[in-house]
Chain A
Amino acid sequence: MKNDIVKEAAQAQKISMIICNSNMDAEVDGLYASAVEAAEKINRPFEIVFVDDGSKDHSYDRLRALADKDARVRVLRMRSSFGEAASLDAGLKHSSGSEVVFISARVRVNLERLPEFFDRFKENVDLVVGWRYPRRDGGMNRLISWFFNRMAGRIANIRLHDINSGIFVARREMLERLSFYGDLHNFIPVLAAQQGYQVAESKIEQKPGKFRRSRYPKEYVQRVLDIITVFFLSRYSKKPIHFLGFLGSLLMLSGVGILAYLFFYRVLQFGPIAGRPLLLLGTMLLVIGIQMISIGLLGEMVIFTHAGDIEEYNIEEILN
């Protein structure tokens, strides 16, 4: 009995480091060494959970060797590549520390300044997001990232320099309450801020060396879509019609206006309208507007019929 209590107290102090790895076998050993070093500096019991997200290289063999050598290391291997959100989720389920460090192997950060993250926790903060500084990515990459963070910050009202830096420290209870899937783990700061959690950031150095230069145009498009995701998530996830209905009505009304103008133009014999592109524009605006409203209504339908799963609020404390 007493043993249990002692164990529980230790559990509450424990740090879980969840490291997601996908085809980065060159990084694995270095990451392990620096994670252990950082954790020892923090001076609390810790565990390291490597999640191998369906790597096709030698990652898994190296991870196994690490696990054999060190009892604090646990290795999960996904059956195939499921993405980082799924890896984080699996890592959470197979770890027990009260505070969770999430590190994505792809960002190649230097963990030397990780203990500073934990200093921020004393200020009642629930989530500390890494800010890669100095950053060693390509210029275009950085510009896009800067723009994304500014936009997302403005939309979701959070002041962070590096929203999806691939490294953060969070309280376990918070992570377990947020629901993330697909690529949504990139937006954990936004989701957390929306729920009223305190979010802060802490600088972390990115290792010099080869940076990923070749960004496909696809990834730029992805970033724009990401901003839309943030916008929707932070403002309209429970009331899509407020946004789509507004936009749709605007388009529809301008379409109706144009068509009305053309109608009177023709009826009052000012001239023919058949050859005028304005007619097409009016019709198109009308059709797009109606479609937008309908999609908004469809969204409302999704939320209304699934309202049982919705919990829009997050209770901090109940008295009496």
Chain B
Amino acid sequence: MPDPQIAISVAVPLYNEVENTPLLFNAIKTVLEQVGKPFEIIFVDDGSTDGTRDALRSLAAEDPRLRVILFRGNYGQSAAMAAGFQASRGDVVIAMDGDLQNDPADIPLLLEKMAEGYDVVAGWRKNRKDKLIIRKVPSRIANRIICNVTDVRLHDTGCSLKAFRGEVIRSIRLYGELHRFIPVLARIEGAQITEVVATHHPRRFGESKYNISRTFRVIMDLTSLNLMIKHLRNPLRFFGTVATWHLMAATLVVAWLLYRGLGVGLTLETLNVPVTLVFLLSVGGVQFLLLGLVASLIVKTGSRRGMNVSPIIYSKDKK
């Protein structure tokens, strides 16, 4: 709920960050007090088991500007961020990681950019302090791919430090592992997006929760988002295209059969392999057509038809 009392909300998901929590809270508080606008800090604990919860309880008891959401279990970063965003009340909502690798001192920079009228300002870790091979290189490749697929031109979508217009972020539904694609989701809602260079520190306490095994899942999420962006308005077109490939292949094999087989006088017994190919491909093709029909039904009954996929996504020069 927007609240005239609060200008800035900072939402931070936490999972087993017991040493970082008080430091982070103090750092954010100091910066926001300097900014001088009314603010709230929202810490969402994603089922920590290392005492983060107790640390949060004592911090919340001292300062009413800190709101704490404690999850019953561990539901993942997307859920934690979603809960933080939904609970936020500020005109501007700032998201950051709980590991102190983002610097709260960058918040004023983000706010400055927001004042220029953007809806999303993303941080760009130009000098990233992480391991090259397992973190930086995959991240750079992923960013290039995300850029090209989604048309959201950012150097660093993976940086958690971001500022959002309150209405925009509260209208986005985060689920699964979509927290990596918040700018893309915001773009689907028609947001204006830009970026600023942000400082990045090496990790001091605790352990990184990332590993390279997520690459495949990121690719899959990207495939699915790409479908949502491009084909949600007419899913039959997408599935129909795949069906057409199948049916065309089937037709080609049939044509070849007619030309090679029957022309020379071969019997169907010697040609059972191509015949079976035709069967497989035709069945596949018909199934895809049906899938497309079901997809149209789903989109039609869904609550998100119509409002999404605004044409703004395709205007590349609008930055």
Interface set of A (CB-CB < 8 Å, partner B)? 194-197, 238-239, 241-242, 245-246, 274-276, 279-280, 283-284, 287, 290-291, 294-298, 300-310, 312-320
Contacts and interface: CB of A to CB of B under 8 A. Distances in A.
B47 A303 contact: no
B312 to A, nearest CB: 18
A304 B235 CA distance: 13
A296 B224 CA distance: 9
Contacts of B177: 239, 242
Contact of A298 (B82, B87, B277, B291): B291
Contacts of B76: 312
Interface string B274-302: 10110011011001100100110011011
Contacts of B80: 313
B104 to A, nearest CB: 20
B291 A315 contact: no
A241 B228 contact: no
Contacts of A245: 220, 223
B113 to A, nearest CB: 28
Contact of B69 (A196, A287, A318): A318
B303 A315 contact: no
B75 A196 contact: yes
Interface string B62-77: 0011111111111110
Contacts of A287: 246, 280-281, 283-284
Given A239-B221, A295-B291, A290 B284 contact: yes
A167 B247 CA distance: 53
Given A242-B220, A301-B235, A313 B173 contact: no
Given A241-B220, A290-B242, A305-B232, A313 B67 contact: no
B70 A315 contact: yes
B175 A196 contact: no
B132 interface: no
A307 B68 CA distance: 25
B216 interface: yes
A319 B288 CA distance: 50
A241 B223 contact: yes
Given A301-B232, A319-B56, A319-B57, 13 more contacts: A196-B72, A196-B74, A239-B176, A274-B271, A294-B291, A298-B294, A303-B176, A307-B173, A318-B67, A318-B69, A319-B61, A319-B70, A320-B67
Given A274-B273, A307-B173, A246 B220 contact: yes
A298 B295 contact: yes
A300 B64 CA distance: 40
B301 to A, nearest CB: 8
A238 B72 CA distance: 18
Contacts of B280: 280, 283-284, 287
Q: By DSSP majority rule, is chain B's interface helix, strand, loop, or mixed?
A: helix
A280 B253 CA distance: 14
Nearest to B40: A320
B227 interface: yes
A242 B74 CA distance: 19
Contacts of B277: 279-280, 283
Contact of A305 (B61, B72, B302): B302
Given A294-B242, A298-B294, A305 B303 contact: yes
A314 B70 CA distance: 9
27 contacts: A195-B73, A246-B216, A274-B271, A283-B281, A287-B281, A287-B284, A291-B288, A295-B291, A296-B220, A298-B291, A301-B299, A303-B176, A304-B228, A305-B299, A306-B304, A307-B304, A312-B76, A312-B78, A313-B75, A313-B79, A314-B71, A315-B83, A316-B71, A318-B69, A319-B60, A320-B64, A320-B67
A301 to B, nearest CB: 5
The 7 closest A-B pairs by CB, nearest first: A196-B73, A305-B302, A196-B72, A307-B173, A239-B176, A319-B60, A319-B68
Interface string B162-183: 0000000000010111000000
B303 A306 contact: yes
Contacts of B316: none
Contacts of A290: 242, 284
A320 B276 contact: no
Q: Which of B57, B80, B228 has the most A CB atoms < 10 Å from its CB? A: B228
Interface in B216-239: 216-217, 220-221, 223-224, 227-228, 232, 235, 239
Contacts of B305: 305
A55 B21 CA distance: 58
A194 to B, nearest CB: 8
A291 to B, nearest CB: 6
Contacts of B173: 307-308, 310
Q: Which of A194, A276, A300 has the most B CB atoms < 10 Å from its CB? A: A300
A132 to B, nearest CB: 27
